[in-house]
Structure 1
């Protein structure tokens, strides 16, 4: 090796030693772990460190949902959600099969129980076909072929929908990524200097240095963006998703959904037979007074005050108060919740429903009260912020992880670049 070549190698090694990693990922949910997995596959040898504040992966949104592998039928053609859900559903089934993660492709019914829902149901069928899905339109008598206990005026059958254990997927991604994953590492400070990279201080007093930061912090992604010195232009407003378990799971064979309300980005109370045979009913969606407010007793005054102070929260409340009042009523009254379920499943009784663990959705709300409905990724020098990863984020985690990985690797090559935001209109 010539002197000049040896000198180049020496300098490169010195630069690498000045950093703990090339890419520093904050957040050990399924999106953060998919990103780490994608980086190490696209660029073997790239050092990736994942910081997760909990003692293990997938303790929040990833591990507290209904476990549905979404087909992509609901999402506007051309949106990131549509593209990544359709692609991600097939990839997720393949990943689960390869890594031994419990899963099943069950198909699902979307059922209209009111005549006013029939035009929306037909439009949904057209949207599904535009997204490349096989959709079968059913009359009332045909519903029983799939779900004998379900009643409705008409339905759609979507065969590509399934279920899996997303927490197990996250664990497999963590193992297969080859990344260094530090649990119990809550980030309290970020020092970002375009010419020097990023240094992160954890609550335990550890300092971790990286060349590029990827913010996949979910419920706290906006706070991490502000710690980095970037204005996210949105706030996370947490919504608690309340579930019940069905004590007579034999009433449901697979997945049963109502026709969604297009004015609100929640799918309504639905029934989901999981990979272990139990049936989840829900979720009901109500504002949570804490970002990790999994029950009514958990209130964090600072977080609640920040939510109420955000102008978008007030605009949102004015715009959707009727819908919110209905959700709150079903939250406080099991009888009202049961009535909503009985629209789909008349045989269910109030005694058949038992409380199950709740989840919290990290809903990004813009300043004008608009609910961010698609993936929202913003880039800044030395940083990539995933500011909205709504359902179907778990389903789409493999392709969305590759997209974030592509951006992170590009930032390594040009660390002071500030690329365009990614939204529903992104190419």
Structure 2
């Protein structure tokens, strides 16, 4: 039996104060002679911007398969699009798609000794990449799982309700809040100890202080082109549960939302002042997704202060204002959504049916979130924070 992989003590060409990811720190020597698989995507790179799977291949390791999450290894597919496997062109290694969930051939795991997970996640419950990771972990038999950790790009804040079990789906299969404030290694360790019970080890990153991402941004998915998109996403993704465009099909998805029938100025006046952001009326024309080819009148959410901005609160305020101003036009999106046929997409996203009902009743958003804010998660996660 080869020794378990640990953290290399060797330095890199980077300055000492730079953030170094798990892939930069992992000791590859103990991995030689093992049959490996890795879950990765196009943002799974070293600090020198080399793909993790390329680094493993160049090191002479026996990397047999690359598992890819939603959107595909190189993030070429849009949301909720089934992805086929293939061959990774640089390494020639087979790709196994984990999306849609629970449709891949799990017998491939019998050919592997160790599973590596190297995923850049954006810290929101409904971002599906870590749920592909938990599916892979759950399917493991005797294989060890090695998590190569990365920063949470939107920091340590916790926001939004903890999802109730009746609303579990692929956009929320475990009881955590919308914004969890944990790294992939921390959250997967938390879930492993409570639910998965597998042989899991984390290779920590180095130099991260818990703040917002400061490195070179590689879009982890097609509609997260920048850090500012990731920051608004925990609130902006709620727009998917309505008949409003969330800006897909434009160059600024999630930062701008709207519909052909929207009154932007009326909505902005109804929303009022937003901490950490300013709202601006815009027009945009989606090239795909909702209202494809139609000119939408909408709102652009400009970030002014990341620390003061609360995305879930902000987008719920916007949704409630639009519903009040356009009661005949606004609607909650109907199923199906992420394979779920019998529950409203908005409920799956927000995590509590009562919140939609309270929005319909006109209850103030602040009061709603005070009732359902998942602050108890701060205590639950405490023992799993590495940094």
Which TM class, normalised by the smaller chain length? Answer: under 0.3
Instruction: Report the structure, 1 or 2, having the larger strand content.
Output: 1
Instruction: Report the structure, 1 or 2, having the larger helix content.
Output: 1
TM-score w.r.t. structure 2 length?
0.26
**Higher alpha-carbon Rg:** 1
TM-score w.r.t. structure 1 length?
0.25
